[in-house]
Amino acid sequence: MDLAFTPEELAFREQTRAWVRDNLPKDISEKVRNSIHLTRDDMQRWAKILGQKGWLGWGWPKQFGGPGWNAVQKHLFEEELALAGAPRIVPFGPVMVAPVIMAFGTPEQQKRFLPGIASGEVWWSQGYSEPGSGSDLASLKTRAERRGDKYVVNGQKTWTTLGHMADWIFCLVRTDSASERRQEGISFLLIDMRSKGITVRPLILMDGGHEVNEVFFDDVEVPVENLVHDENKGWTVAKFLLGHERMNTARIGTSKRELERLKAYAQTQQANGKPLLDDVRFRDRVSRLEIELTALEITNLRFLDQLRGGRPPGAEVSMLKIKGTEIQQGLTELMLQAAGPAAQAIAPVGADDGFDAFTAALAPRYCNYRKTTIYAGSNEIQRNIIAKQVLGL
């Protein structure tokens, strides 16, 4: 096993770092570093910059317009973006539905949908969770009935992240209720969010933010050519997509950036007449989290070494999702502890130079990160996967 980067990989990192430094808009980077809300324009402006470079689809093979990078190059690219303070690329298009269309879509679907995703022009959202169907996704009830050359969709999706900004949504729908196994009779549809009968209702979070939504489908007509893969075989597509989603949830680079930010802040704060970072109990918690993050990075490098050797990791990749999201939550907890009563609910509009950017929006960010151990399959589900498929229990 070789966990060291080759000279060629290190050169690739430097080239990527230089390009990001020269092309990442400073105002967007400042918002990310200070946890200030990003607008749709902010996120799409950066997506289009990456799209012009051909890097929005950074994980795509060359045949579909991507750079054709290997697993190590993709990892280095993601880490350099995070360390530079770039916004997280909204994954629903380039990371999730695009690989599905490449693997299961028809040539016509590939020509129709992939260019808009690669350029950053077309935004997607994910229609998976429903009331009563979250981690138990196979219990979904949104139904699509075939009528000639159309499906008629009725039902509801919930916790639909950025659904109010999306142009399209990919959905799991039930096309056969008579199947003996719940995983059977499910299909994967691509649905235009401008279709008649779609209603998006915001779910306002505790901090007043609008990030997630309920999406209602009332007799929504979807052309049959928007079916991906075979009818009633959507569970195969769903499992493939969830694998891509879970690989994208560890966010090691982002956690490394936020850890350094926490340590710098704690060094300036006073506790009993000395810097907070010198407090033994606080320093111990920071050190433990840093050790866990280092261990996670080494584990990720082990997976990358497997991929480098042509051996895709199996169910054990769930470890990245579990530990990565727990570390993200741990960081927000320590940040809140470091700021104490100074943690603010929202960043003041038009804040001047004396405004403490670190404490801005810390409390809402802490609350928001409670979701990380739930989405993409809860961490309890991931532990069951490891127990059954890796440990054989």
Domains and CATH numbers, the chain: 7-91 (1.10.540.10), 124-232 (2.40.110.10), 248-390 (1.20.140.10)
Q: What is the pLDDT of residue 151?
A: 98
Q: What confidence score (pLDDT) does residue 120 get?
A: 96
| Residue 348, pLDDT score | 47
Q: What is the pTM of this model?
A: 0.87
From 110, 129, 127, select the one nearest 222 (Cα to Cα): 127
pLDDT the model gives residue 352: 45
Phi-psi region of 391 (alpha: psi -120 to 50; beta: other; left: phi over 0): alpha
CA distances from 65 to 62, 107, 115, 169 (A): 5, 14, 8, 22
Q: Has residue 312 got a pLDDT over 70?
A: no
Residue in this structure with the two tokens 């606080």, named with its chain if needed: 282
Q: Tokens representing 147?
A: 């009528």
User: Element (H or E) spanning 276, and its range?
Assistant: none
Alpha-carbon torsion 58, 64, 68, 70, what sign?
positive
pLDDT at 209: 82
Residue in 78, 245, 258, 297 annotated catalytic: 245
pLDDT in tens, 30-57: 999 887 889 999 999 999 999 999 999 9
Burial (CB count within 10 angstroms: exposed 0-12, middle 13-18, buried 19+), residue 168: buried
Among 103, 97, 85, 106, which residue's Cα sits nearest to residue 42?
A: 85
Residue 225: the pLDDT is 98
- Residue 326 is predicted with a pLDDT of 97
Which residues on neighbouring strands pair with residue 144, listed in sequence order?
Answer: 153
107-153 pLDDT tens trace: 999 999 999 999 999 999 999 999 988 878 889 999 999 999 999 99
pLDDT of residue 363: 83
- Report pLDDT digits (tens) over 331-376: 999 999 998 888 865 554 444 444 466 776 788 888 889 989 988 7
Amino acid at 226: N
Is position 9 annotated as part of the catalytic site? no
Show the DSSP H helices in the chain as ranges: 7-23, 26-33, 40-53, 71-84, 98-104, 107-119, 234-247, 252-268, 280-308, 318-339, 362-368, 379-385
Q: What is the band of 393 on the pLDDT scale with cuts at 50, 70, 90?
A: confident
CA distances from 141 to 150, 201, 391 (A): 19, 19, 33
Share of the chain above pLDDT 70, in %: 93
Task: Mention every residue, 6+ apart, whose C-beta is less than 8 A from residue 204.
Answer: 210
Backbone angles phi, psi at 260, to 5 degrees: -65, -35
Of the candidate ranges 27-31, 242-246, 282-286, the one whose mean pLDDT is the lowest? 242-246
- Comparing CA positions, the residue from 12, 162, 26 lying closest to residue 78 is 12
